[in-house]
Chain A
Amino acid sequence: MAKFDVVGHSVRRPDAYDKVTGGRGFPVNVTLPGMLHARMLRSPYAHARIRSINASAAEKLAGVKAVLTPGDVPQKKFSPLFFMPTESNELIRDLVLLSENIRYAGQPVAAVAASTPDIAEAALDLIDVDYEELTAVFDPEEAMQPGAPRISPTAANNIARTPTLSRGDLEAGFREADEIFEGTYCTQRVHTCYMEPRVCVVDSDMQGNLTVYASVQHIFGLREKLAYVLSRPESGIKVVKSPYIGGGFGSKLDLVYIEPLAALLSLKTRRPVRMEHTRYEDFITNARHPMKVYLKTGVKKDGTFTARYAKTIVDTGAYATHGPEVIMVHAVFSFFSAYRCPHQKWDGVVVYTNNMLGGAFRGYGAPQGCWAVESQIDEICHGLKMDPLEFRLKNAHHEGDAHPFLKQFTLASYRLADCINQGAERIGWKNRSRTPSGAGTKRRGIGVACHPLWVSGCVGLPDIYEHSGAIVKLNRDGTADLATATIDMGTGQNTTLCQIAAEELGIAAESVRMSYADTDTVPFDAPSHASRVTYSAGNAVKAAAGEARRRLLQVAGEMLEADAADLEVRKGIVQVKGSPDVNLTVAEVVSRAESPLVQMTAAGPKVTTIKEKGSIIGVSSMAPPGNPSPCAAEFVEVEVDTETGAVKVLRVVYAHDIGRVINPAAAQGQVEGGVQQGIGYALMEHLQFDPGTGACVTGDFLDYKMPTAVEMPAEIESIFIESDEPTGPFGAKGLSEVCLTIPAPAIANAIFNAVGVRVRDLPITPEKILAGLGKL
Chain B
Amino acid sequence: MKAITLNINGEKCRVQARPHWSLAYTIREKVGLTGTKTGCEMGTCGSCTVLLDGQPIFSCLKMAVDAEGHEITTIEGLEKDGKLHPLQQAFIEDHGMQCGFCTPGMIVAGRALLDENPRPSEQQVREAIAGHLCRCGTYARIVRSILHAAEMSQNR
Contact = CB atoms under 8 A, between A and B. Distances in A.
Given A21-B75, A279-B40, A672-B140, A666 B95 contact: yes
B146 to A, nearest CB: 10
Given A10-B95, A20-B107, A23-B104, A247 B42 contact: no
Interface string A18-40: 11111110101100000000000
Nearest to A715: B140
B140 A16 contact: no
B39 A196 contact: yes
A212 B99 CA distance: 21
Interface in B105-156: 107, 122, 125-127, 129-143
Given A16-B92, A20-B84, A244-B99, A709 B142 contact: yes
A436 interface: no
B97 A19 contact: yes
B152 to A, nearest CB: 14
Interface string B68-79: 000000111011
Contacts of B104: 20, 22-23
B54 interface: no
B133 A489 contact: no
A246 B100 contact: yes
**Dominant SS among interface residues on chain A:** loop
Interface residues of A, number: 55
Interface stretch (A72-80, A700-708, A746-754): A700-708
B95 A716 contact: no
Interface in A648-676: 665-666, 669, 672-676
Nearest to B126: A709
A22 B98 contact: no
A24 B34 contact: yes
A700 B125 CA distance: 25
B84 A21 contact: yes
A708 B139 contact: yes
A700 B136 contact: no
A304 B131 CA distance: 48
Nearest to B131: A708
A19 B40 contact: no
A675 B97 contact: no
Given A279-B40, A279-B42, A13 B95 contact: yes
Kindly name the residue among B87, B129, B138 whose own CB sees the greatest number of chain A CB atoms within 10 A.
B138
Contacts of B140: 672, 712, 714-716
A701 B133 contact: yes
Contacts of B87: 20
A677 B103 contact: no
Contact of A21 (B18, B35, B135): B35
Given A672-B141, A708-B132, A28 B37 contact: yes
A222 B107 CA distance: 33
B63 interface: no
Given A23-B35, A709-B130, A710-B127, A675 B99 contact: no
Given A10-B95, A28-B37, A676-B135, 13 more contacts: A12-B95, A13-B97, A16-B92, A17-B92, A22-B34, A22-B74, A22-B104, A23-B104, A29-B34, A195-B134, A666-B95, A669-B137, A676-B134
Q: Can you list the 4 inter-chain pairs with the closest CB atoms, starting with the nearest?
A: A22-B35, A490-B99, A676-B137, A246-B101
Interface of B: 18, 33-37, 39-42, 44-45, 47, 74-76, 78-79, 84, 87-88, 91-93, 95-104, 107, 122, 125-127, 129-143
